[in-house]
Amino acid sequence: MARTKAAGDGSGLVEMAWDPITRIVGSLGIHTKIDFKQKRVAECYSTSSVFRGYSVFMRGKDPRDAHFITSRICGICGDNHATCSVYAQNMAYGVKPPHLGEWIINLGESAEYMFDHNIFQENLVGVDYCEKMVKETNPGVLELAERTEAPHAAEHGYRTIADIMRSLNPLEGEFYREALQVSRYTREMFCLMEGRHVHPSTLYPGGVGTIASVQLFTDYLSRLMRYVEFMKRVVPLHDDLFDFFYEALPGYEEVGRRRVLLGCWGALNDPEYCDFTYANMSDWGRRMFVTPGVVVDGKLVTNDLTDINLGIRILLGSSYYEDWQGQEQFVTHDPLGNPVDPRHPWNQHTIPAPQKRNFDDKYSWVMSPRWFDGKDHLALDTGGGPIARLWSTALSGLVDIGYVKATGHSVVINLPRTMTKPETSFEWKIPKWSNALERNRARTYFQAYAAAVALHCAEKGLEEVRAGRTQTWEKFEVPDEGLGVGFTEAVRGVLSHHMVIRDGKIANYHPYPPTPWNASTRDTFGTPGPYEDAVQNTPIFEENTPENFKGIDIMRAVRSFDPCLPCGVHMYVGGGKTVKSMHVPTGLSGLGG
Amino acid sequence: MTEATTKTVGAAPAEETPTIHILWINAGLSCDGDSVALTAAMQPSIEEIVLGALPGLPKIAVHWPLIDFECGPVGGADTFIEWFFKGERGEIDPFVLVVEGSIPNEAIKPEGYWCGFGDNPETGQPITTSEWIDRLAPKALAVVAIGTCATYGGIHAMAGNPTGAMGLPDYLGWDWKSQAGIPIVCVPGCPIQPDNFSETLTYLLYQATGAAPMIPLDDKLRPTWLFGATVHEGCDRAGYYEQGEFALSYDSPKCLVKLGCWGPVVKCNVPKRGWMNGIGGCPNVGGICIACTMPGFPDKFMPFMDEPPGAKLSSTASGAYGAVVRKLRSITAKTVDKEPKWRRTGEKITTGYRPPW
C-alpha cells in the first residue's frame, strides 16, 4: 500500500508525514524530510487541520457566557480555559471572590493537573516507552533493559527496566491499567470542586457554586492521599525509565532538544494577595503557587505578569488568515498607561482564509504567537507545561509553603506519610537540556508538585469551613466598557485570555493556550515554531530500515510537548522503491476476546 | 502478556463472531472532550469493553486516535489512517463509525478545508471530515454521533460562526439509515456523560451479536432510556423548587432556576446519575444547567446566567404555593423530629408491651 518516493528537490532526503498522530489530543500534522544517511530529521513542518473560530463567534455575546463557551476549546483541559476566563472576567467586572472560592478553584485545577499528566504520561506517552514499542523499534535496547536492574525497585516494585516497560503495554500492562483508574479518581476529585469534567458546571465569575462542607473536603482529601502514595512509586519509576534511555542510547539527550526558551504564565492564585486588579497584577502574580516567568538560555528574563502581558505578539506568516494590519485597534494602552502593540491579543482580529496547503507558503490553521523581549520575537515553548513551570518556579525561588519550596536552582517537594509509605521528599533540579526525556521527567515531578500544593490548599480551605466562612461566591456587575486579562497555566503550559467589553457585550476575545505556541508555524521572520524546531534537531536512533520505519524518536519528540491537536505525516521512502508491507494491528486493535 | 491473549483467542469456540471494528473520527469541529470523557467511564470501562469483560460481547478492534498504539508514518508501518481506507474498500466488515465534532460546511468557500483527517495520497491535501463521512457512512453497520457537536452542531454551530457547522443528522439527513437499517445514534452531551456513551456502545455491540433488539431512540435519535427524563425530574434540588425556595446567589444550596438553570426543560440524566461514580453533576452540585445536551444548545439558552423566561411565571407560582407547603411541612417536621415518649430510662416499660409475669 505504501507509496514511496524521494523528496522532489533532489536533496536525497526522504519525505515522511504522520497524519493523524495518535495518542495526543486534537489535530496536528507533522511533515518531515529525513536524512537517513545522517540519521537526522532535516526539515519539519507542523500543521493543524481543524478550524472552529471561537474568537469570531464570541463577538457580541454576553461576557458572562465566556467561561462556559471557552471551556469547549479543549476536551482535556477545558476547565483551564473556564478558569482563565473567570480570572479575566473578575478583572473586567472588578470582583474579588471569597477566599474559599479561590481555594476550591485551586483544588479543582490541581486535580486537573494530577488527572491529565497521569493519563497522558502513562496511557499516551508511556506507550512510546513500553515493551511492545521498544521491541518493534529498538530490540537491542529491550535486551539491555531485560538485563538492567531498576535502581529504585524497592520503591516501585519492578525489578528490571524491562519489567517497567512491560507494565506500560497498552491494556495488558498492569501499571497502564492502574493509571487509567487513577485518572478516574483524580477526575472525581475534580468533580467534587468544579462539578463535572472537563467542562466545569460550578465555575462562575465571582467564585464558585460548590457547596463548601466538611464532607466536600473529606472526600477530596481521602482521594488526594491515595494519589500522594501513588506518586511515591511513580516518581522513582519514571526516573529509572528515563535515566535508562540516556544509558542505553548514548546521545539520546539530543532527541527533541531545542534552545531553552520557556514560558510560564503562573498558576494557582493565593487569595491572600490576588485581587484580580491589573494595577496589582505584577505583585499578586509573584504570589502564585507556580511562579510566572520567561526563561531564556537558563536565565530568568522576567517573572512580572505585566511585562509578560505586554510582550505577547501574534504573528502570521504560514497560517490561513488574513492579516489585521490597519483594522481597528481595541486597546491602545493598558490600565497602567503602557502602550499596547497592534499585534497584541487585545487587538487581534481573526479573519479566516481557507486555502490549499502549501508547505512553501501557508500550511496551518495555527498562528505564530511570539514573545517580544524588546529585541527579538522569541518562539517560546512550554515543553508540555511542567518543565517550564518547574524551571520558572525554581529560578524565582519565591514559593515556600512547606509542602513545596523553591530554592533558586531546584524545587523541593515534601510529601507527608501515607497509609503504607513514610514521609518522602523529591527534589527536581534544573536539567542540563530542554529535551524530550526531561519534558517527560518534569511531567512526573509536577504531578507530585500539584498534589503537594493541593494539600496546602485543602488545609486552607478547611480552615475557612471550620471558621464558618462558607461563602464561595461574590456578586458583580458587568460594566458597559471594560477589559480583562486572565493568566494561568493550562496543563500543557501558558494560557491567557484577553477580553474587551463594549456596550456590555464582548467586543473582542482571544484565548491563547499553550499549543498555539508549541505547534506554531514559521512566522513572518521565518522562525520555525517549537515542534518544528525541536523535531528538526532530532537524531534518529530507531533500528528499523526506512521501509519499516515508525519514526518513534520523532513521535517521542512531538509527544514530549503533550500536543493538543490531531497530527499528520506522509511517508515517501527514497529511491522510488515501492514498499508492500502490511502490519498486523496491535494496541487496541484485535485484543478483545 | 500479548501471547497469553493470543492463546485465549486460539482456544475460543469454533463458531466465532467476526471482529467488529470501530472507526473513530475525532476530526469534526471538536475538542476531543468526548473521547476524553469516555476514558472516565466505569459502567463499563473502555478496557472492559475492549477486553470483552462483559458476557456475550463480540470481539472488537477500536481505531481511536486518542489512545491508539499505532502511530506509524503515512503509507508505512503501523499507519493509523490505513484502517479508514480499509473501511472504505470494504476490507473490514462490519465496522461502526463514530464521529466526534460538528460537520462544517465545506461548500461555502472557494478552496481549502475547515477540518481534515488524514491526507489524500493523490493530491497531498487533507481529506475533509465530510468526505470521510460520504465514503464510510454507506458501508457502516451503524453510525454513532458522540457529543452535542456531532449530534446537533453544538457550540461550534453557534450564531455568527464562520464554518456553517451542523450535526451529523443535518448532514446525512434525519431519516438516514445504515445498511443494517439502524438510524444515526445520537449521544448528546458537552461532553457526553461517560457511562451514557459506554452504555450505548455496549448496547450496539449486543445488538450486533443479535442479543438485543433495535436500539430504542426518540425522535431526536437519542437512546430513550438515557434521555427520557428531564434534568429537573432527577434533580435533588427540586424539593426546594416545590417549596418556592430559590437561590439568589450561586453558592446557595437551593434551587438555581432564577440564576439561569434550564433543568426543567432539558433532557439529560446527569443530576440523577452523577457525573462519574455518582460524584459531581450540574444543578445538584451548584452548577446551573446550560442545556448542553439539547439541539437548541447553546443559542436558545444564552445568556446562560440569566433566568430562563419561562421560569419566571412558574417560579412565582411555586413561590406562593410553596410558602404554604413549607409552613405545613415545618409543623410536621417538628413532630417527626422528636422521639416517641417511651424511649427513656426508668423502672417501668411504657412502650405498650405487657410483660407476662
Q: What is the pLDDT of residue A574?
A: 37
Q: What is the pLDDT of residue B71?
A: 82
Closest-CA residue to A525 (of A342, A380, A377, A353): A377
Is the Cβ pair B113, A354 closer than 8 Å? Answer: yes
Q: What is the pLDDT of residue B316?
A: 87
Q: What is the DSSP code string of A324-355?
A: -TTSPPS-SB-TTS-B--TTSGGG----B---
Q: How far is B238 from chain A (nearest CA, A)?
A: 17
Amino acid at A164: I
CA distance B285 to B159: 30
pLDDT by residue (tens digit) across A437-447?
A: 999 999 999 99
Other beta carbons within 10 Å of B341: 8
Q: How far is B102 from chain A (nearest CA, A)?
A: 10
CA distance A448 to A414: 9
CB-based burial of residue A219 (10 Å sphere; 0-12 exposed, 13-18 middle, 19+ buried)?
A: middle
Contact call for residues B118 and B166 (beta carbons, < 8 A)? no
Residue found under cell 467564585: A207
A87-91, A476-480, A545-549, B279-283: which has the minimum mean pLDDT?
A545-549
pLDDT above 60 (res A572): no
Q: How far is A227 from chain B (nearest CA, A)?
A: 17
pLDDT above 70 (res A11): no
A472-486, A529-543, B216-230, B247-261: which has the minimum mean pLDDT?
A529-543
Q: What is the pLDDT of residue A9?
A: 59
pLDDT band at A228 (very low <50, low <70, confident <90, very high): very high
Residue found under cell 492564585: A269
Q: How far is B290 from chain A (nearest CA, A)?
A: 9
Is the Cβ pair A208, B250 closer than 8 Å? Answer: yes
Cell digits for A322?
A: 488574513
* B75 lies within 8 A of chain A by CB: yes
Buried-exposed string A196-209: b where 16+ CB fall within 10 A, e elsewhere: bbbbbbbbbbbbbb
Candidates B63, B73, B304; nearest CB to A17: B73
> Strand locations in A39-143, DSSP E?
40-47
Is the Cβ pair B115, A51 closer than 8 Å? Answer: yes
Backbone angles phi, psi at B127, to 5 degrees: -85, 125
3-state secondary structure of A549: coil
Residue A1, CA distances (Å) to A37, A394, B264 in order? 25, 51, 55
* B43 lies within 8 A of chain A by CB: no
Is the Cβ pair B74, A472 closer than 8 Å? Answer: no
Count Cβ–Cβ pairs < 8 Å, chain A vs chain B: 378
Of B57, B74, B156, B293, which to mutate for an interface test with A (greatest number of A Cβ within 10 Å)?
Answer: B74
Segment A524-538 shows an average pLDDT of: 93
3-state secondary structure of B22: strand
> Strand locations in A290-330, DSSP E?
293-296, 299-302, 312-315
Segment A42-49 shows an average pLDDT of: 92
CA distance A267 to A174: 33
Candidates B31, B78, B109; nearest CB to A74: B31
Is the Cβ pair B163, A51 closer than 8 Å? Answer: yes
Q: What is the pLDDT of residue A589?
A: 45
Instruction: Spell out the long-range contacts of A301-308 with Cβ–Cβ below 8 A and sequence spacing 24 or more.
Output: A301/A373, A303/A392, A303/A396, A303/A398, A305/A265, A305/A266, A305/A281, A305/A487, A306/A278, A306/A281, A306/A282, A306/A334, A306/A336, A306/A338, A307/A282, A308/A263, A308/A265, A308/A371, A308/A487
Q: Tell me the β-bridge partners of B185.
A: B144
CA distance A207 to A213: 16
3-state secondary structure of A279: coil
Segment A529-534 shows an average pLDDT of: 94
Is the Cβ pair B305, A65 closer than 8 Å? Answer: yes
pLDDT band at A575 (very low <50, low <70, confident <90, very high): very low
A195-204, A324-333, B77-86, B102-111: which has the minimum mean pLDDT?
B77-86
Cell digits for A145?
A: 533493559
pLDDT by residue (tens digit) across A116-138?
A: 999 999 999 999 999 999 999 99
Amino acid at A60: G
Rg (CA), chain A: 23
Instruction: Quote the mean pLDDT of chain A.
Output: 92
First to last CA, chain A: 29
Q: What is this structure's pTM?
A: 0.94
Closest-CA residue to A22 (of B64, B36, B50): B64
* B62 lies within 8 A of chain A by CB: yes
Percent of chain B predicted with pLDDT > 90: 84
A554 sits in which H/E element = helix A552-559
Query: Regarding beta strands B20-25 and A569-571, do their DSSP bridges make them parallel or antiparallel, or are they unpaired?
Result: unpaired
Closest-CA residue to A369 (of A245, A496, A268, A233): A496
For A212, which residue in chain B has the nearest alpha carbon?
Answer: B251
Tell me which chain B residues have a C-beta less than 8 angstroms from the C-beta of A62: 302-306
* B275 lies within 8 A of chain A by CB: yes
Is the Cβ pair A585, B70 closer than 8 Å? Answer: yes
Of A50, A118, A578, which to mutate for an interface test with B (greatest number of B Cβ within 10 Å)?
Answer: A50
A28-32, A326-330, A399-403, B184-188: which has the minimum mean pLDDT?
A28-32
Percent of chain B predicted with pLDDT > 70: 96
Tell me which chain A residues have a C-beta less than 8 angstroms from the C-beta of B9: 593
Residue A86, CA distances (Å) to A76, A80, A552 in order? 18, 10, 40
First to last CA, chain B: 73
Q: What is the pLDDT of residue A6?
A: 55
Question: For residue B254, what are the contacts with CB-CB under 8 A and spacing of at least 6?
Answer: B237, B240, B245, B246, B247
Q: What is the pLDDT of residue A185?
A: 98
Residue B332, CA distances (Å) to B318, B323, B342 in order? 20, 15, 20
Backbone angles phi, psi at A322, to 5 degrees: -85, 145
Closest-CA residue to B45 (of A168, A76, A24, A180): A180
Q: What is the pLDDT of residue B152?
A: 98
CA distance B201 to B63: 14
CB-based burial of residue A398 (10 Å sphere; 0-12 exposed, 13-18 middle, 19+ buried)?
A: middle
Q: How far is B199 from chain A (nearest CA, A)?
A: 17
Backbone angles phi, psi at A489, to 5 degrees: -110, 110
Helix then strand then coil, % of chain A, to nearest 5:
40, 20, 45
* B150 lies within 8 A of chain A by CB: no
pLDDT band at A539 (very low <50, low <70, confident <90, very high): very high
Is the Cβ pair A202, B279 closer than 8 Å? Answer: no
Helix locations, B276-340, DSSP H: 309-336
Report the Cα A143 to chain-centroid distance in Å: 33
Contact call for residues A354 and B111 (beta carbons, < 8 A)? yes
A74-88, A98-112, A123-137, A551-565: which has the minimum mean pLDDT?
A551-565
Query: Regarding beta strands A40-47 and A29-35, do their DSSP bridges make them parallel or antiparallel, or are they unpaired?
Result: antiparallel
* B1 lies within 8 A of chain A by CB: yes
Q: How far is B323 from chain A (nearest CA, A)?
A: 24
Closest-CA residue to B152 (of B136, B162, B143, B165): B165
CA distance B323 to B316: 11
Is the Cβ pair B37, A1 closer than 8 Å? Answer: no
CA distance A415 to A424: 5
pLDDT above 80 (res A8): no
Is the Cβ pair B61, A589 closer than 8 Å? Answer: yes
Residue found under cell 445488538: B207
pLDDT above 60 (res B13): no
* B54 lies within 8 A of chain A by CB: no
Candidates A356, A475, A569; nearest CB to B249: A475
* B48 lies within 8 A of chain A by CB: no
Q: How far is B107 from chain A (nearest CA, A)?
A: 12
CA distance B132 to B116: 9
CA distance A147 to B42: 38
Backbone angles phi, psi at A249, to 5 degrees: -125, 85
Is the Cβ pair A211, B253 closer than 8 Å? Answer: yes
CA distance A482 to A460: 32
Q: How far is A54 from chain B (nearest CA, A)?
A: 8
For B103, which residue in chain A has the nearest alpha carbon?
Answer: A52
pLDDT band at B15 (very low <50, low <70, confident <90, very high): low
Amino acid at B200: T
CA distance B169 to B183: 9
Contact call for residues A377 and A313 (beta carbons, < 8 A)? yes
pLDDT above 80 (res A150): yes
ipTM: 0.93
pLDDT by residue (tens digit) across A397-412?
A: 999 999 999 999 999 9
Question: For residue B217, what are the contacts with CB-CB under 8 A and spacing of at least 6?
Answer: B183, B185, B186, B223, B224
* B238 lies within 8 A of chain A by CB: no
Closest-CA residue to A48 (of A534, A572, A531, A386): A531
Tell me which chain A residues have a C-beta less than 8 angstroms from the C-beta of B250: 202, 204, 206-209, 472-473
For A355, which residue in chain B has the nearest alpha carbon?
Answer: B112
* B287 lies within 8 A of chain A by CB: yes
3-state secondary structure of B344: coil
Segment B151-177 shows an average pLDDT of: 98
pLDDT above 60 (res A578): no
Closest-CA residue to A15 (of A27, A3, A26): A3
Candidates A49, A61, A547; nearest CB to B27: A49
Tell me which chain B residues have a C-beta less than 8 angstroms from the C-beta of A583: 72, 77-78
A496 sits in which H/E element = strand A493-502
For A97, which residue in chain B has the nearest alpha carbon?
Answer: B251
Of B15, B66, B98, which to mutate for an interface test with A (greatest number of A Cβ within 10 Å)?
Answer: B66
Segment A521-533 shows an average pLDDT of: 95
Q: What is the pLDDT of residue B195?
A: 98
Candidates A75, A570, A571; nearest CB to B35: A75
Q: What is the pLDDT of residue B191?
A: 98
Is the Cβ pair A132, B276 closer than 8 Å? Answer: no
Candidates A62, A183, A548; nearest CB to B77: A548
Tell me which chain A residues have a C-beta less than 8 angstroms from the C-beta of B299: none
Q: What is the pLDDT of residue B72?
A: 82
